[in-house]
Amino acid sequence: MNIAIAVYGSPTTSCAHRNALGFVRAALAAGHSIERVFFYHDAVLVGSALVVSPQDESDFGLQWATLAAHHGFELAVCVAAALRRGILDATEAKRYDRGSGCLREPFELVGLGQLAAAAIDAERLVTFI
């Protein structure tokens, strides 16, 4: 089964990322594929390269990046939600005359249409709030 994931909750104040990562790992272990992981609302904070997690806390950005690299799925960050929270890639930094971007690799800024496309292309859309 091909599954799309939407994550809405903050990486620091909700269990959304922990639960989504656990679900994705279990789905992959069961032989399913992940179409795309779409980060929206406060979940976009996971894409910031400027966040440093304390040693005794999970680095969800690193965990997502490692999992996506190993299994070849996209980490899509809503551009509107990211800009509102100060997360820009190099293109948006240039557009808005900011010194540099802070989007962590391999996260990508995309439009909300990518969530709709993932929902259409996948057999299931699972949301974590």
Nearest to residue 43, comparing CAs of 2, 75, 70? Answer: 75
Report the interhelical angle of 16-29 vs 60-71 (nearest 10°): 20
With beta carbons less than 8 A apart as the criterion, state whether 24 and 30 touch.
no
Instruction: Please say if 15 is a catalytic residue.
Output: no
Strand partners, 3: 34, 124
- Taking the C-alpha atoms of 42, 126, 28 and 78 in order, what is their torsion angle to the nearest 10 degrees? -40
> From the candidates 65, 68, 76, 78, which is the catalytic residue?
78
Catalytic residues: 78
